[in-house]
Amino acid sequence: MKILVTGASGLLGKKTMELLSLSKRFEVIGTYLTHPNEMIYKLDITNKISVEAFFHDFNFDIVIHAAALVDADYCEKDKELCENINVIGTMNLVDVCKKNGKKLLFVSSDYIFDGDRPPYTEDSAPHPVNFYGVTKLEGEEIIKKNLDDYIIIRPPLLYGDDDETKPDFITTLLKKLKNNEKIFLDNEIIKYPTLTEDIAQSILALISVDAKGIFNTGSDEGITKYQWAKKIAQFYGYTEDSIFENKESPSAPRPLNVLLDSSKIKRLNISFANIEQGLKKTFKTDYAKKFNFRIIRSKDVPLEDRSPYGGYFIKRLFNGQLNDSDENVGLYETIIRPHSTVKSHYHKNLDEILYFFTACFLVIGSEKIEIHPNDTVILPRGVPHEVITQNEEVRLLAIKIPNIVEDKRIYKH
Ligand SMILES: NC(=O)c1ccc[n+]([C@@H]2O[C@H](COP(=O)([O-])OP(=O)(O)OC[C@H]3O[C@@H](n4cnc5c(N)ncnc54)[C@H](OP(=O)(O)O)[C@@H]3O)[C@@H](O)[C@H]2O)c1
């Protein structure tokens, strides 16, 4: 089955192409307009003749239409361009699908709703509050009027792994945090950030079952951009002090709270990552405050904080935030053979506490550290580490903690 993905150089199109290609069930051909890469073709969807010729050359079975002018403020300023890409471009693709009897999957938006009366089902009345939303709704209407075999999906704010050409919210924010820039963000409008990967999975599921009709596709955890940024900063180990509330209105009005009821697509076994899961899934080592590890030497630990083994009483470290019944805490005892090494690795989603019964060397980043028996090492996620043994086997306990936890106690070491 041959599939065309328009907007394959974009945040969502790229992820969709990647996922469909991986499934090996489809031949996937993607297009771009201004951001080329080796794997995709140039196609301006506003040019009817080019669209027809492209379709004629490849004879697609399904069109996934993810190309659009997405910047709502820019759309408000240049309505003609926005209309041309989002409406005329969509119409050109609808025409070729209609002529050739092919299926179209259109990526619409939560911005077709006004955000005044959430939640919104697939049947709720649309009422866009900005021009971008108007053009996405027009796209939907052209499709409904002209095609029988179509799918319309409506994602909210998208984020996910991306490259430097199309930085998403998280990447842009991390860059600013790293550069100590002041960051101003809205703290009124409730957004429902959704992973591109989850939308790409939705697209795969929908075309796999040959679905038809409209599907809301969004996470149901609401958050303002300001609150989200604070969570991101905290997760990556940055101070939140440079993040401020922005009181200025954007040039395009925004819907206040478009909570989508996505229960229809969830029946296809699709789920949407919440904020915390999304942070873990998109973890970027480059931006994490690396090498922020701590070593607590057993001799420096006061008697009352020593474990029965003589080392650091780990439960105390988190002021009682951890307890024995915490299912999220993984505890492993490991033995490493003499003269061997545990190759350098880092954990994407886990903080780790290593408690050593035996002496060894630990390489953290490029630093080689001598470890004594009963030393405790705290390794936040993203810190590359390697254990090197000498003449004797090394015994250690590793505690893996998926939730970021703050060490409230301070010890000299
Ligand atoms: N991003 C969001 O938060 C969000 C939220 C809800 C819905 N959506 C919808 O999701 C879809 C994908 O959005 P996205 O975030 O992936 O957008 P994006 O990263 O801005 O990518 C837009 C894509 O459209 C292409 N494009 C623009 N004008 C074109 C034209 N005239 N001819 C052909 N291709 C053209 C771009 O190509 P070049 O980059 O190569 O020029 C790019 O590949 C859109 O339909 C959007 O409305 C997005």
- In whole angstroms, what is the distance from residue 143 CA to residue 148 CA? 8
CA of 277 to the centre of ligand 1 (A): 25
* Pocket residue to mutate for ligand 1, from 12, 51, 163, most atoms within 8 A of Cβ: 12
Domain ranges of the chain: 2-285, 290-401
Q: Could you identify the residue written with the tokens 């301006």?
A: 44
The model's pLDDT over 65-119, given as tens digits with 9 standing for 90+, comes to 999 999 999 999 999 999 999 999 999 999 999 999 999 999 999 999 999 999 9
Q: What is the pLDDT of residue 213?
A: 98
Look up the pTM and report it.
0.79
What's the one-letter identity of residue 173?
L
Q: Are 316 and 409 in contact (CB under 8 A)?
A: yes
SS3 letters across 361-406: EEEECCEEEEECCCCEEEECCCCCEEEECCCCCEEEEEEEECCCCC
CA of 69 to the centre of ligand 1 (A): 6
Give 143's strand partners.
none
Q: Which of 15, 104, 6 lies closest to 61, judged by CA?
A: 104
> Between residues 323 and 26, which one has the greater pLDDT?
26
Name the DSSP class of 318: T
Q: From 232, 198, 190, 189, select the one nearest 218 (Cα to Cα).
A: 198
Nearest CA to ligand 1 atom 11: 66
Which residue has the CA at smallest separation from atom 12 of ligand 1?
66
Ligand 1 centroid – CA 66 distance (Å) = 6
- CA angle in degrees (0–180, nearest 5) for 204-223-118: 75
Angle subtended by helix axes 225-236 and 169-178, to nearest 10? 60
Candidate ranges 184-188, 342-346, 383-387; pick with highest mean pLDDT: 184-188
Amino acid code (one letter) for 269: N
Question: How does pLDDT run across 188-227, given as a tens digit for each residue?
Answer: 999 999 999 999 999 999 999 999 999 999 999 999 999 9
Distance 81 CA to ligand 1 centre (A): 13
- Compute the distance between CA of residue 62 and CA of residue 64 in angstroms, rounded to an integer: 7
State the closest ligand 1 atom to the C-alpha of 85, by its place in the atom list counted from 1: 31
Query: 65 C-alpha vs ligand 1 centroid, how far in Å?
Result: 9
| Gap between the Cα atoms of 50 and 44, Å rounded | 7
Q: How far apart are CA 146 and CA 37, in angstroms?
A: 33
Of all atoms in ligand 1, which is nearest to the CA of residue 12? 16
Q: pLDDT by residue (tens digit) across 290-310?
A: 445 566 665 665 665 555 444
- Partner residues linked to 336 by β-bridges: 394
Q: Which ligand 1 atom is the nearest neighbour of the CA of 159?
A: 3
* CATH code, residues 290-401: 2.60.120.10
Q: Which CATH number fits domain 2-285: 3.90.1150.10, 3.90.170.10, 1.25.40.420, 3.40.50.720?
A: 3.40.50.720
pLDDT tens digits, one per residue of 107-153: 999 999 999 999 999 999 999 999 999 999 999 999 999 999 999 99
Pocket of ligand 1 (CB under 6 A): 6-7, 9-13, 32-35, 43-46, 66-70, 85, 89, 107, 109, 136, 155-158, 166
> Among all chains, which residue has been given the structure tokens 């401020």?
244
DSSP letters for 199-239 = HHHHHHHHHHTT--EEEE------B-HHHHHHHHHHHHT--
